[in-house]
Amino acid sequence: MVGLYVDPPAHAIVLSVDEKSQIQALDRTQPGLPLKKGRLGTMTHDYKRHGTNTLFAALNVLDGTVIGRNMQRHRHQEFIRFLNTIEAQVPVDKAVHVILDNYAAHKHSKVRAWLDHHKRFTFHFIPTSCSWLNAVEGFFAKLTRQRLKRGVFRSVVDLQEAINRYVAETNARPKPFTWTADPDEIIAAVRRGHQALDSIPSASRRARRRRRDCNPAHWACAS
């Protein structure tokens, strides 16, 4: 998987694909106070919900551009429509390698049928619980931090327009994805995670311990 990022195949495009679902169009009940010298900008915690949106995005790891499309849901039907969007925008002479997670919609039988009819597409599924391997997650994080977190959206349309502007701004000044994580640090972190998990008593061991503690045969007798 990492090889697709650091040494992509020749005459191919590598796309990191995912969807950011349940993006809420939130309208604050009161206007916040603007940023001024000596005081941070403020925003009321009360808000009105005006619906949700799902953003499908494909990050081109070679040049940093993003293909984005807003939809109301994130089923396999919407995913196929997004694949058609990618198909229409990627040069026809390029093979397309798609990095994506194991979400059920990505493996639906109709998605597999779509792949059978689009031979230049190859899917590469990241392991479960390894979202950090999907570069588009970094784009979603920046979108949330820079545009959505403090945004005021009076409708889903307002929200979608803000997202579309952000995608356009990203594509106007794209930055190629650069893999900076040190492999030794990643492996060390994984090992620390395994050690932490191994140090947690399993449910079965905790249950045996409770049964033992409740058994009078295991109680210590005072002398």
Q: Of all helices (H) and strands (E), which one includes residue 205?
A: helix 203-214
- Calculate ∠ Cα 7-11-12, nearest 5°: 65
- Share the mean pLDDT of the chain: 83
61, exposed or middle or buried, with CB in 10 Å at 0-12, 13-18, 19+?
buried
The mean-pLDDT minimum among 140-154, 182-196, 206-220 falls in: 206-220
Mean per-residue pLDDT for 101-121? 96
Q: What CA–CA distance (Å, rounded) separates 162 from 33?
A: 21
pLDDT digits (tens, 9 = 90+) for 9-22: 888 999 999 999 99
> What fold characterizes domain 2-172?
Nucleotidyltransferase; domain 5 (3.30.420)
DSSP state at residue 202:
P
* 29 pLDDT higher than 70: no
Of 79-83, 119-123, 196-200, the range with the lowest mean pLDDT is 196-200
Structure tokens at 126: 């990241």
- Is pTM beyond 0.85? Reply is no
Whether the predicted pLDDT of 198 surpasses 50: yes
The pLDDT tens digits for 61-75 are 999 999 999 999 999
The predicted pLDDT at position 196 comes to 86
The amino acid that residue 123 corresponds to is F
Per residue in 39-59, pLDDT (tens digit) is 555 555 656 777 899 999 999
User: What is the C-alpha to C-alpha distance for residues 154 and 28, in angstroms, rounded to an integer?
Assistant: 9
Of the pLDDT bands very low, low, confident and very high (cuts 50, 70, 90), residue 219 is very low
pLDDT by residue (tens digit) across 112-164? Answer: 999 999 999 999 999 887 777 888 999 999 999 999 988 888 899 999 999 99
What confidence tier does 218 reach under pLDDT thresholds 50, 70, 90? Answer: very low
Q: Is the pLDDT reported for residue 87 higher than 80? A: yes
